[in-house]
Copies of this chain bind each other. A is one copy, B any other.
C-alpha cells in the first residue's frame, strides 16, 4: 500500500487471531492479540467487520508514516478469511497523502543559526531521523557551505557519505567530548549518544535539537535551542539563514586541527591492526578487506557485538537509508529479516544492487534458517559471518577440545562460547547457495571477489577470526602498540 510518490514505507504487521465465535471457548491460538501488541505498536486494532477492514488498514498505514514513524498492528480474525459480504457494502479507502511537513518557528531558527555562528568547537550529529526525512541534500549543503565537522549515528551513516572530508567519525569520542555546540539532526540523546551527559560531553555544551517529535526535545539535557519540525524542512530553514548571511567555520581552527590529529592517529592505529599478518585474523584485518571490495551502492546490514561495533567504524556508507543494524533497541536476530526486506526492494528497483549482511556468529545463530528463504527467492544477498566462536569472545579450539574431553561442557563451558569452527557456510550450501570458509586474508579477498562477480546465487562467507579478538585487547594492553596513546579509547567508544 506504499504510495509511490511518498518515498515512505509503512510498517504494518497483519496478524491472525482465532475465529470470533469461538472466543472465550478455548479456540486455536486464542489470545488477546490487539492488547498483546499494544506496548509494541504505534497503533493496534482489529476491524470489527469485513466492511471495516479498509478504514483500519488506511489508518494503520497513515499512523505508521505520519509523525514519528512506527510499526502498527492490525488483527484479522480467522473467520474473516471465509466470511462473505456484499462487495458493495465495503467502503474502499484511498491511500493517505504523503506525510505532512512541518517547519520550525522562524525565530528559533534564527537563534539556532546565531548559536552556531558563535560556536568555538561545533559539531553536527546526523541521526536516523535525518535519513527518514530524506534530508541528505540539505544537510550535505549545510556541512559543505559552513565547513562544519559532522558525525553520523549508526543508522544516520550515509546521509552524508562516510568518506566526506568533514566526517569526524574516526575522532568520535573527542568530537562529542569537547564540542561546545552540538546540532542534533534527528538523533536522540539516548544510550547511543551517552544521554548527552558528562563526562562524555562538556557540562556546558549547547545542544540544538532538531526533531519531528516534540516530546523528544529536552530529554536528559536542557537544550539551548529546540527546532521542532520535519528534519529536512528545518535543515533547509537553517541553510537559508546561512544563505542570507553567509558564514563558515574556519577550516584552520584549532578544533579542526585537533579533530584531524585524532582522526589520523586513530586511523593509523586501526590500519596497524588491520595489517597484522598473524593468524587467525583480527576484526580490523577482516573489515579492511571487506571495505576494499564493498560495492558503493550496496545495502549494508549488520548485527553482532564487536562485529557490529568495529564493523561500523571500518565499513563505509555512501548512500542514505542503506545501513540497517540492530538500532536503538540493540536486539539481535533482526539482521537477516532486514536483509531480505532490503533485497526485495533492491531486486525491484535496481537490478544488480547487492545486500551485504555482516553478522557476528552469535547473531547469525538467531535467524540463520533464513538462508532457506534467501535461496528460495534467490535474493542478491551476501552474508559475512565474522566467526570468533562466541558472543563477545569464544574459546580457541584447543581449549575447547580439552573442555569436551575431560569435563562436562554443560556446566563448564562459559555461557558465551559457541561451538568452535562452526561451518555456517554449510547452512547456505544446504539450500543451494554458495559457501566459503576462509581463514586468511587471501582467502577472504578471493571469496569476496568471486561472490561479487557471480550474481547468480546468494552466498555466505564464514570468516574465522581470533577467538579472543576484542576491541580493548587490540587497542591497549594485549597488543602493546607503542604508538597508540590513551586516545585510542576512542575505539572503545564506538558503540552502536
Q: Give chain A's interface residues, CB within 8 Å of chain B.
A: 20-29, 31-32, 34-36, 38-39, 42, 45, 48-49, 51-52, 55-56, 59, 62-63, 66-67, 93-94, 96-97, 99-106, 108, 188-191, 195, 213-215, 217-220, 222-223, 226-230, 233, 328-331, 344, 347, 364-369, 372, 375-378, 404, 409-410, 413, 418-419, 422-427, 429-432
Contact = CB atoms under 8 A, between A and B. Distances in A.
A38 B104 CA distance: 30
B369 A365 contact: yes
A38 B32 CA distance: 11
B22 A191 contact: yes
A93 to B, nearest CB: 8
B188 A26 contact: yes
9 contacts: A24-B59, A38-B39, A93-B222, A99-B214, A101-B228, A378-B404, A419-B432, A424-B430, A425-B430
A289 B198 CA distance: 64
- Number of copies of this protein chain within its complex: 4
B100 A102 contact: no
Nearest to A40: B36
Given A26-B189, A365-B372, A52 B21 contact: yes
Contacts of A104: 100-103
A344 B409 CA distance: 12
Contact of A377 (B38, B48, B378, B409): B409
Contacts of A330: 28-29
A34 B189 CA distance: 24
Contact of A218 (B22, B97, B102, B422): B97
Given A38-B35, A102-B229, A26 B220 contact: yes
Nearest to A362: B372
A215 B66 contact: yes
Contacts of A55: 24-25, 220
Nearest to A46: B23
Given A20-B49, A422-B431, A100 B96 contact: no
A104 to B, nearest CB: 6
A100 B331 contact: no
A215 B97 CA distance: 12
A376 B418 contact: yes
A213 B21 CA distance: 24
B365 A28 contact: no
B32 A39 contact: yes
A351 to B, nearest CB: 12
A372 B104 CA distance: 48
Contacts of A376: 409, 413, 418-419
Contacts of A97: 218, 222-223, 226
Q: Which 3 A-B pairs have the closest CB atoms?
A: A26-B190, A426-B430, A67-B214
Contacts of A329: 29, 31
A24 B418 contact: no
A103 B100 contact: no
Contacts of A189: 26
A422 B190 contact: no
A104 B101 CA distance: 7
A413 B377 CA distance: 9
A22 B51 CA distance: 12
B195 A25 contact: yes
B217 A25 contact: no
Nearest to A435: B430
